[in-house]
């Protein structure tokens, strides 16, 4: 098993946190992992991305030119990173913010209205990253849900421990969305 995962969005969407949770979950499961963050100088609102590699074998490089999984949370990241996904790979799209359609037919595409699900089903807009992660793990279990929950418990400690339940709920909402075949339970999209 070897997964190269690229996550892109803007600062404030929890891009680096999502990557950290994935990397920690990989370590919990006994895999070799790397987590390589990158962000623009603006931080909140600027570009943010990270590469996570989870492998059964030693990892030679911490970055990837052609990930087999790519999560894009906004349109600039979609335009920049979707062409890089390896043939046969998976592109996970936050369809709440990305209206463009991917024209590629050589990859699998998972569209998740993460902002809508986080806001209306979780009740906390800031959990879009965990909604996306829940949907990803349900589609392609690069790590287990139990490892992700254990990772959150390791990361969200002290004053942040009160955020565990809402992050667990967001994971379940994303998982449920994917397991139901991508059906949105919210009554309408904000732009309709």
pLDDT in tens, the chain (192 residues): 899 999 999 888 889 999 999 999 999 999 999 999 887 665 556 678 999 999 999 888 878 889 999 999 999 999 999 999 999 999 999 999 998 888 888 999 999 999 999 999 999 989 999 999 999 999 999 999 999 999 999 999 989 988 999 999 999 999 999 998 865 443 333 333
Whole-number pLDDT of residue 44: 57
Cα–Cα dist 192/190, whole Å? 6
Beta sheet of 47-55, edge-to-edge order = 32-39, 47-55, 2-10, 69-72, 90-94, 108-112
Alpha-carbon distances, residue 46 vs 11, 34, 73, 126 (angstroms):
5, 23, 13, 16
pTM of the model: 0.87
Whole-number pLDDT of residue 2: 93
Cα–Cα dist 148/172, whole Å? 11
Q: Could you confirm whether domain 2-179 is CATH 3.10.450.50? A: no
pLDDT digits (tens, 9 = 90+) for 54-86: 999 988 887 888 999 999 999 999 999 999 999
Q: By the 8 A CB rule, do 147 and 25 touch?
A: yes
Whole-number pLDDT of residue 66: 93
Whole-number pLDDT of residue 189: 35
Whole-number pLDDT of residue 42: 52
């Amino acid at each position: 098993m070897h997964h190269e995962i690229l996550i892109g969005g803007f600062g404030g969407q929890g891009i680096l946190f999502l990557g950290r949770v994935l990397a920690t979950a990989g370590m919990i499961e006994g895999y070799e992992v790397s987590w390589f963050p990158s962000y623009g100088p603006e931080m909140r609102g600027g570009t943010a991305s990270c590469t996570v590699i989870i492998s059964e074998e030693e990892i030679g490089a911490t970055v990837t030119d052609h990930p087999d999984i790519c999560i894009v949370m906004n349109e600039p990241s979609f335009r920049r990173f979707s062409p890089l996904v390896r043939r046969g790979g998976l592109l996970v799209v936050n369809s709440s913010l990305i209206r463009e359609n991917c024209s590629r037919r050589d990859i699998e595409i998972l569209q998740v209205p993460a902002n809508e699900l986080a806001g209306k089903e979780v009740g906390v807009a800031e959990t879009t990253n965990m909604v996306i992660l829940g949907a990803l793990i349900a589609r392609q279990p690069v790590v287990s849900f139990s490892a992700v929950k254990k990772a959150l418990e390791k990361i969200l400690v002290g004053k942040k421990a009160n955020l565990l339940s809402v992050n667990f709920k967001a994971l379940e909402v994303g998982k449920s969305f994917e397991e139901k075949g991508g059906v949105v339970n919210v009554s309408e999209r904000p732009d309709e």
